[in-house]
Amino acid sequence: MDFLDKIDSYAAESNKIAQIYRDSILTYKELKEKSDALACYIIEKYGQDKTPILIYGHKQHEMLISFLACSKAGHAYIPVDVTFPSARVNDIIESSGSKLFINIGELEYDSKTLEILNVNEVNNIMEKYKGETPDRKYRVEHDDNYYILYTSGSTGKPKGVQITKGCLATFMEWFLKYAEVSQGKDVIIDQPSYSFDLSVVNVYVGLYKGNTLYTIDKKMVESFQELYDHLGKSNIATWVATPSFTDMCMLDDKFNRELLPNLERMIFSGEVLPKKLAHRLFERFPGVKIVNGYGPTEATVFVDAVEVTPEIMSTDKSIPIAFNMEGGTLLVIDEAGKEVAVGEKGEFIIIGDTVSPGYYNNEEITKKVFFKVEENGVIKRGYKTGDLVYKDVDGYIYYCGRKDFQIKLNGYRMEIEDIENNIRKLELINNAVIFPVYKDDKVANLTAFVTLKEKNEEKEFKMVLKIKEELKRLIPAYMVPKNIKIKEQLPTNSNGKVDRKKLMEELR
């Protein structure tokens, strides 16, 4: 069944809840009726025009309604979180050529060529077209763009990753088994920003399964008391988040089985999942199942996921990111494009049905990282991730860092994430982020920001010396950061990842 039809089918259960956002409830019946109504307006206004529609906001009901309305009206949508500055929004509008801007977040934005609908106008439209059903011939088809996510570009301008309906359907088909929980436990956390690809799991996997999305917004995250109050009454069974957001929740001992008695599954992506965090989660939530997902935005959220088993936890290796790919191929290649031997590092290459067609209106950058290849007489899309990985004898794939995170310091070539991973192995350390410090266009030294596993009364300079001495047992002295700054917690951005930009400001 088409996943839009599946989501709409729950409307027959009149009181079935699709989303809980603070004191407001959106039922599946309302989700269908309102998205149908808004789709009818878009069709009437734009007809066969397939121009993508920009949707600006945060976690409001109207965001989900607008996503489905765009799909039913034949348009890809571009989700833009309220944390995006107006200059970035303007760049996205210029790049996408959008003609309609659904402004749920009420950004002050003027345009003579762009139709702008604020939240009141959207609700008035839904009331006006209430009861109308959009013609199915306008719906987004298999090869049409379903959504476009804008990510940072090296040029300073964001680039839009196109994800087709077929990409999304393929992802959902194989990933559903990783989101299975006991019958009746149908609440899934809705925390990742909608402009972050991890949110696709809670939105589309969640809605396809008829789950209730329990929304955690950015204001809740800023207040531990409010966050725990909401978590405590959420009945969440499925947790979808970054390791950084979860690590932040772990700062308080209240984040445990008593707070979330129904929690059965924790799904992670976006960053490395440290073994220390996994150990602590197993201790706090006995019986929980942990899934480590891997995949760039360019390949539709995840290309593979690994359930973290006791066997994986018992090794001295990191948690693997992949094992195989359903409906595709995962390769590890050297700079000459040849597959490397088991245990050797190389670039991770993805070939399959979840790979994006490329960057929207950006053929030049698309050609640099996307390619096509014939497999068994079928043309498949491929993507060069820029991630460095290695495969072990059992077929598990392990993340080693980014090709573009390689630096040269005092003549030595090293990988930033290699050092980060080794710092995280230290008993004292909870998490770590490292930056190269440049002088005269060369790397002069390294600075590390770390959080401690437990509060320590020792003076900071003594702790720093202790960290450096322990680190020298794991890596060569020339790789040990010159400066180590101890922080109570690392800042996170709207996606729940460590906010590296904010930390970089402390280096200036």
Percent of the chain with pLDDT over 90: 77
Higher pLDDT, 158 or 309: 309
Q: Are residues 52 and 69 in the same domain?
A: yes
Q: How far apart are CA 150 and CA 390, in angstroms?
A: 29
Residue with tokens 């790397």, as numbered in its chain: 443
Long-range contacts of the stretch 453-461 (C-beta < 8 A, 24+): 453/276, 453/427, 453/428, 453/429, 456/428, 460/486
What CATH number corresponds to the domain at position 106? 3.40.50.980
Long-range contacts of the stretch 435-439 (C-beta < 8 A, 24+): 435/500, 435/503, 435/504, 435/507, 436/407, 436/409, 437/482, 437/483, 437/507
Q: Give 65-89 pLDDT, tens digit per residue.
A: 999 999 999 999 999 999 888 888 9
Strand partners, 448: 434, 484
- Closest Cα partner for 290 from 323, 244, 241? 241
Q: Are residues 35 and 101 in the same domain?
A: yes
Q: Are residues 8 and 132 in the same domain?
A: yes
Q: Are residues 364 and 483 in the same domain?
A: no
Residue 102 backbone dihedrals phi, psi, to 5 degrees: -90, 105
Q: How far apart are CA 230 and CA 216, in angstroms?
A: 8
DSSP state string for 171-215 = HHHHHGGGG---TT--EEEE-S-TTSTTHHIIIIIHHHTT-EEEE
Q: Average the pLDDT over 280-304 and give the result.
A: 96
- Comparing 152-161, 393-402, 414-423, the range with the smallest average pLDDT is 152-161
**So what's the pLDDT on residue 349?**
97
Q: Give 201-220 pLDDT, tens digit per residue.
A: 999 999 999 999 999 999 99
In a domain, 222, yes or no: no
**So what's the pLDDT on residue 151?**
85
Structure tokens at 480: 């040990």
| Residue 218 half-sphere exposure toward CB, CA atoms < 13 A | 16
| Residue 504 half-sphere exposure toward CB, CA atoms < 13 A | 8
Q: Are residues 338 and 430 in the same domain?
A: no
- Comparing 38-42, 278-282, 313-317, 435-439, the range with the smallest average pLDDT is 435-439
Centre a 10 Å sphere on the Cβ of residue 152 and count the other Cβ atoms it contains. 11
Q: Are residues 416 and 374 in the same domain?
A: no
**So what's the pLDDT on residue 317?**
92
What total number of domains does the chain contain?
3
Contact 119, 112 (CB under 8 A): no
Helix ranges (H only) for 233-305 are 243-249, 275-284
Q: Average the pLDDT over 104-127 and give the result.
A: 93
Amino acid in the structure at residue 58: H
- Comparing 27-41, 113-127, 136-150, 322-336, the range with the smallest average pLDDT is 322-336
In a domain, 59, yes or no: yes
Residue with tokens 């991630």, as numbered in its chain: 387
Residue with tokens 């050609």, as numbered in its chain: 367
In a domain, 381, yes or no: yes
| Average pLDDT of every residue of the chain | 93
In a domain, 236, yes or no: no
Q: Are residues 472 and 382 in the same domain?
A: no
Question: What domain range is 101 assigned to?
Answer: 1-140
Final residue in a domain of this structure, among 347, 374, 401: 401
Beta-strand relationship, 212-215 and 187-190: parallel
In a domain, 276, yes or no: no
What CATH number corresponds to the domain at position 430? 3.30.300.30
pLDDT at 23 > cutoff 70: yes
Q: How far apart are CA 112 and CA 470, in angstroms?
A: 61
Q: Are residues 357 and 435 in the same domain?
A: no
Q: Are residues 326 and 424 in the same domain?
A: no
**So what's the pLDDT on residue 155?**
57
Q: How far apart are CA 484 and CA 472, in angstroms?
A: 14
Q: Are residues 94 and 13 in the same domain?
A: yes
In a domain, 286, yes or no: no
**So what's the pLDDT on residue 154?**
53
Q: Are residues 331 and 464 in the same domain?
A: no
In a domain, 162, yes or no: no
Final residue in a domain of this structure, among 401, 420, 444: 401
pLDDT at 24 > cutoff 90: yes
Q: How far apart are CA 20 and CA 18, in angstroms?
A: 7
Q: How far apart are CA 295 and CA 301, in angstroms?
A: 5
Q: How far apart are CA 446 and CA 418, in angstroms?
A: 13
Higher pLDDT, 501 or 98: 98
Query: Residue 263's Cα: distance from chain center in Å?
Result: 20
Segments of 340-405 assigned E as strands: 346-352, 370-375, 378-391, 397-402
Q: Are residues 434 and 345 in the same domain?
A: no
In a domain, 414, yes or no: yes
What CATH number corresponds to the domain at position 374? 2.30.38.10
Final residue in a domain of this structure, among 359, 384, 401: 401
Percent of the chain with pLDDT over 70: 98
Beta-strand relationship, 24-27 and 77-81: unpaired
